[in-house]
Chains A and B, each alone.
Chain A
Amino acid sequence: MAEEFEPKIVAFLCKWCSSAGSDLAGVSRMEYPPNVVPITVMCSGSISPLYILSAFNKGADGVLVSGCHPGDCHYIKGNLYARRRIALVKELLEFIGFEPKRFQMSWVSAAEGSKYTQIIKDFVSQLKPLGPQTELRRNL
Chain B
Amino acid sequence: MVNLEELKENAKELLKQEKVKYIIGYKRGTNGLMPVPAFIKKPEDVENLIWDPLCIYNLTRFLVDEKRKKAKQKNPDERPVGLIVKGCDSRAVNVLLQEKFINREDIYIIGISCENTGVVDEKKLVKKLKGKKVKKIEFGKKNGFIVSTEDGQVEVPSSEILAERCQECIAHFPVVYDVLLGEKPKRKPDNPFKSLEKMESLSREERWTFWKEQLDKCIRCYACRSTCPMCYCDECVVDTINFAVTADTTAEEKAQKIKWVEKSPVLSENFVYHFIRAIHLAGRCIDCGECERVCPLDIPLRFLNKKLEKEAKELFGYDVGFDPDRPSLVSCFKEEDPEDFIR
Number of interface residues of B (CB under 8 A): 44
Task: Give the nearest-CB partner of A97 in chain B.
Answer: B208
Task: Give the nearest-CB partner of B273 in chain A.
Answer: A53
Contacts A92-B279, A96-B211 hold; do A54 and B343 have CB atoms under 8 A apart? no
Which residues of A89-136 have CB atoms within 8 Å of chain B's CB atoms? Answer: 89-100, 104-107, 119, 135-136
A87–B337 contact, CB under 8 A? yes
Which residues of B311-335 have CB atoms within 8 Å of chain A's CB atoms? Answer: 311-312, 315-316, 329-331, 333, 335
A138 within 8 A of B: yes
B329–A98 contact, CB under 8 A? no
Number of interface residues of A (CB under 8 A): 37
Cα separation A71 to B339 with both chains bound (whole Å): 14
Cα separation A30 to B187 with both chains bound (whole Å): 61
* Other-chain residue from A81, A93, A96 in contact with B333 (beta carbon distance below 8 A): A81
Q: How many A-B residue pairs have CB under 8 A?
A: 108
Cα separation A136 to B267 with both chains bound (whole Å): 8
Task: Give the nearest-CB partner of B196 in chain A.
Answer: A95
Q: Please name all residues of chain B whose beta carbon is closer than 8 Å to the beta carbon of A136 when the two chains form the complex.
A: 268, 271-272
A92–B333 contact, CB under 8 A? no
Q: Please name all residues of chain B whose beta carbon is closer than 8 Å to the beta carbon of A33 when the two chains form the complex.
A: none
A140 within 8 A of B: yes
Contacts A49-B279, A90-B341, A140-B266 hold; do A85 and B330 have CB atoms under 8 A apart? yes
* Other-chain residue from B266, B307, B335 in contact with A95 (beta carbon distance below 8 A): B307
Contacts A81-B333, A137-B268 hold; do A96 and B282 have CB atoms under 8 A apart? no
Q: Do most interface residues of chain B lie in helix, strand or loop, or is the interface mixed?
A: helix
Rounded to whole Å, the gap between the CB of A140 and the closest CB of chain B is 6
* Other-chain residue from A81, A105, A138 in contact with B268 (beta carbon distance below 8 A): A138
Contacts A84-B330, A96-B211, A96-B275 hold; do A107 and B308 have CB atoms under 8 A apart? no
Rounded to whole Å, the gap between the CB of B133 and the closest CB of chain A is 40
A50 within 8 A of B: yes
A105–B204 contact, CB under 8 A? no
B183 within 8 A of A: no
A139 within 8 A of B: yes
A77–B333 contact, CB under 8 A? yes
A-B contact pairs, 5 of them (CB 8 A): A92-B279, A92-B308, A105-B342, A137-B268, A139-B266
